[in-house]
Amino acid sequence: MKRNRLSVDQYVSGVLKGDRMVLSRAITLVESTLESDQLLAEKVMEQVIPHSGKSIRIGITGVPGVGKSTFIESFGDILLEAGYKLAVLAVDPSSQRSGGSILGDKTRMEKLSADKRAYIRPSPAGSTLGGVSAKTREAMLLCEAAGFGVIFIETVGVGQSEIAVRGMVDFFLLLMLAGAGDELQGIKKGIIEMCDALVINKADGDNVEAAKRAQREYANALHLFPAKENGWYPKVKVSSAVTGDGLKEVWQMIQEYIEKMMSNGFFESNRASQRVNWMHEHIRYLLESRFYQNPKIKELISSSLEDVRNGNASAIAFGRLLVDNFIQIKER
Q: What is the pLDDT of residue 25?
A: 96
Residue 291: pLDDT over 60: yes
Per-residue confidence band for 160, with pLDDT thresholds at 50, 70 and 90: low
Residues 6+ apart with CB under 8 A from 91: 122, 123, 124, 125, 131, 132, 133, 136, 153, 154, 155, 156
Q: Is 234 left (phi over 0), alpha (psi -120 to 50) or beta?
A: beta
pLDDT top residue among 299 and 218:
299
Q: CATH top-level class for 52-264?
A: alpha beta
Per-residue confidence band for 143, with pLDDT thresholds at 50, 70 and 90: very high
| pTM metric for this prediction | 0.87
Say if residues 72 and 247 touch (Cβ distance below 8 Å). no
Residues 6+ apart with CB under 8 A from 228: 196, 234
Per-residue confidence band for 306, with pLDDT thresholds at 50, 70 and 90: very high
pLDDT, average across residues 58-85: 91
Per-residue confidence band for 83, with pLDDT thresholds at 50, 70 and 90: very high
Q: What is the pLDDT of residue 1?
A: 37
pLDDT, average across residues 173-196: 68
The percent of residues above 70 in pLDDT, for the chain, comes to 85
Task: Kindly indicate whether the domain formed by 1-50 is annotated with CATH number 3.40.640.10.
Answer: no
Q: What is the pLDDT of residue 131?
A: 44
Per-residue confidence band for 224, with pLDDT thresholds at 50, 70 and 90: confident
Mean residue pLDDT across the chain: 85
- For 6-19, the pLDDT digits (tens) are 999 999 999 999 99
Give the C-alpha distances (Å, rounded to integers) separating 222 from 148, 215, 251: 33, 11, 20
Q: What is the pLDDT of residue 223?
A: 77
Q: What is the pLDDT of residue 130?
A: 46
- For 112-132, the pLDDT digits (tens) are 888 899 999 987 655 554 446
Domain boundaries, the chain: 1-50, 52-264, 277-331
